[in-house]
Amino acid sequence: MLEKLYEKLNGFHPGGLYFIAGIPAVGKSTLMLNIALDYAQKFNRKVLIFTIEMSKEEIAERFHYITGGSPKIVDLSIYIDDDFELTPDKIKVKIDSVKPDIVFIDYFQLMDVDIKYYPQSRQYELSDIIYRIKRIAKSNNVPVVILSQLSRNQNKRPSFEHMRYIDDVKSQIRRNLDVIMFLYNPDISSRHNKGVFDIKIIVSKNRYGESFIINSHLYCSTLRYMMCEDE
């Protein structure tokens, strides 16, 4: 139940670039799929998911857990692209073809570039990828949500300043993002009652409103998020 998150974000704005980051296994992909399902099922919107880390079959299996098997993903307007050599140009071609209402990319550090402008620096390539995705979002007037992996060793409360990029790359990436969102589990190794993770959703930049933190529960058996009280 993500209504509180949507309300705080004022929805996902056409042309906006949204950034969801966290360490491995904190629930980024699951949050993405919960949002995608809401858009397709509750809001009757067309959803396009680019998945580099997981296959179409793995995504479909996760949707099955979230929905309990009904409706099936084939009955919803959800399109999945699992090209493991994903580039910004391929994203643009697919968006032009599908014409989705919202786009998800899981996750952007695994993307490739169309032309190697920066053979000496992967960080500058990633900055260029973000810039080009931002242009695609604006030119197609569609919100794009990109997922980002943080280092597993970073067990403290995350912030953009902790991301391991050189300063000018970090500032370039941050400038192109409209919303920056971190998922944080204060104790990733433990669960409280009945297999539930406590996840803090930390929005540190919100071009469309205020920054905020929402506490949430992630139910492992159903892969469903439930919003709790604000901080």
**Angle at 75 (CA atoms; ends 65, 93), nearest 5 degrees:** 100
Distance from C-alpha of 65 to C-alpha of 42, rounded to nearest angstrom: 17
211, part of any domain: no
Cβ–Cβ < 8 Å for 179, 16: yes
The two tokens of residue 28 are 């980024």
**Which pTM was predicted?**
0.89
Measuring CA to CA, which residue among 2, 15, 1 is closest to residue 207? 15
198, part of any domain: no
Q: Compute CA 54 distance to the chain's CA centroid, rounded to the nearest angstrom.
A: 14
With bands split at pLDDT 50, 70 and 90, how would you rate the model's confidence at 231? Answer: low
- Neighbouring residues of 141: CB distance < 8 A, sequence distance ≥ 6: 14, 15
Domain of residue 147: give its range. Answer: 10-180
Measuring CA to CA, which residue among 64, 7, 31, 16 is closest to residue 216? 31
User: Which stretch of DSSP H or E encloses residue 47?
Assistant: strand 47-51
Where is pLDDT greater, at 189 or 227? 227
79, part of any domain: yes
Overall domain count for the chain: 1
Q: CATH number of the domain at 40, please.
A: 3.40.50.300
pLDDT tens for each residue of 122-179: 777 888 889 999 999 999 999 999 998 887 665 677 777 666 665 667 778 888 899 9
User: Across residues 62-78, what is the average pLDDT?
Assistant: 82
User: Which stretch of DSSP H or E encloses residue 93?
Assistant: helix 88-98
The two tokens of residue 177 are 């993002």
Burial of 119 (0-12, 13-18, 19+ CB in 10 A): exposed
User: Across residues 7-31, what is the average pLDDT?
Assistant: 91
With bands split at pLDDT 50, 70 and 90, how would you rate the model's confidence at 100? Answer: very high
29, part of any domain: yes
